[in-house]
Amino acid sequence: MSEVWVLGDGQLGGMLKDAGRRLGIPVRVVDPADIEAGERLAHADPLCITAEREHWPDTQCTRALLAHPRWRNAPAFAALADRQSQKALFDQLGLPTAPWCPVSADADVESLREALGGEFLLKQRRGGYDGRGQWRSQLAREATLPLWQTEAIAERCIDFTTEVSLVGARNRAGDRVFYTLTENFHAGGILQISVMQPGRFAAWQAEAERCHARLMSHLNYEGVLAIEFFVTPEGLLINEVAPRVHNSGHWTQAGASISQFELHLRALTGMPLVTPLQPGCSVMVNLIGRDADRAALALAGTQRHWYGKQPRPGRKLGHLNFFHPQASEAARWLQALPLSPDFQASRAAALRSLAQWDNG
């Protein structure tokens, strides 16, 4: 079988490569900065080309891959990699999202507050993940916006109950499958903990799948795509979309019969696309800036995934997965897990969610 190429050589590409070995699909990860790769790969014949990221440098390598006839999802990356075109697409398709607007050079804090009906968040149109490239009007001491204001959109701050994400996949024939909605807990814009509890968000599952399916069908998308939603009393609002495997889907490595990485490759290569079994409660904890305490491996259900990166503050270095049929056991593991102080608020919120559903 020909290779599947993955643009990007980070942890997501590495986990796609691992999934390929299990499925018997050769996967090659491609460093966008590889000077020799562009010319070499431009004349090769892969099965298909996918990506582990939405943004990449303009290099000989990336130009060659994006011009290749086997490059998949070009319309999706063009529409979703820029937050302004992403939001415009939501509006075009009638998908629910927070009120937003482009930011002109003469805009100021008060004019944007008036336009959006309240406090707002400035987000850089490209990049700016894990809390970077964002600016909150609530914290402004004067009416001056950041120098990068014209490279951003403004989005009204939403009073939401919690954030959930839906990871799903579509193949070339238009078949679609979805995982269960997953609840996410952040600090400083960085995802710390994700929890999947069967039935926890059953009331929102169909609505989330409808939005997801509409977007994938419009883009003629192939592979795994993730959508983050705010849960509000009025319904779901789309926060952002990632046209790739996603951090909030890492729990599927332990808690589903088919991981998101395997599902992505199945959808791309024409293998059977079936809804994964998800029989219990799953918890994923990101390892940020430091390794996990070895005590985290004392429970038999713990999986550790290490990315092999150099440690630095705020950097995702790996993650822990835990699965158990009972939410109470997942909560016991999360409670016992040695975590740094900056995880305590996320852990407390996740434990409340687990207790609420387990008792309900």
Domain locations in the chain? 4-71, 99-156, 162-359
pLDDT tens-place string over residues 31-73: 988 877 767 776 788 999 999 999 998 888 898 889 999 999 9
Residue among 327, 178, 339 at smallest CA distance from 252: 178
List the chain pLDDT tens, one digit each, 360 residues. 589 999 999 999 999 999 999 999 999 999 988 877 767 776 788 999 999 999 998 888 898 889 999 999 999 999 999 999 999 999 999 999 999 999 999 999 999 999 999 999 999 999 776 667 889 998 766 668 989 999 999 999 999 999 999 999 999 999 999 999 999 999 988 999 999 999 999 999 999 999 999 999 999 999 999 999 999 999 999 999 999 999 999 999 999 999 999 999 999 999 999 999 999 999 999 999 988 778 888 888 899 999 999 998 889 999 999 999 999 999 999 999 989 899 999 999 999 999 987 644
Tokens of 123: 């987000």
| Dihedral Cα 65, 69, 73, 75, nearest 10 deg | 100
- Which fold would CATH assign to domain 4-71? Rossmann fold (3.40.50)
Enumerate the β-bridge partners of residue 251.
Answer: none
pTM (2 d.p.): 0.95
Rg (CA), the chain: 20
Instruction: Give the helix ranges, DSSP H, for 185-226.
Output: 202-219
What superfamily does domain 162-359 belong to in CATH?
ATP-grasp fold, B domain (3.30.470.20)
Contact 23, 69 (CB under 8 A): no
CATH number for the domain whose boundaries are 99-156: 3.30.1490.20
φ and ψ of 275, to 5 deg: -70, 120
Beta strands in the chain (DSSP E): 4-7, 27-30, 48-51, 100-102, 120-124, 134-136, 152-156, 162-170, 176-178, 182-187, 190-196, 223-232, 235-242, 281-288, 302-306, 316-324
What gap in Å lies between CA 53 and CA 41, rounded to an integer?
Answer: 19
Enumerate the β-bridge partners of residue 148.
Answer: none
What gap in Å lies between CA 69 and CA 41, rounded to an integer?
Answer: 12
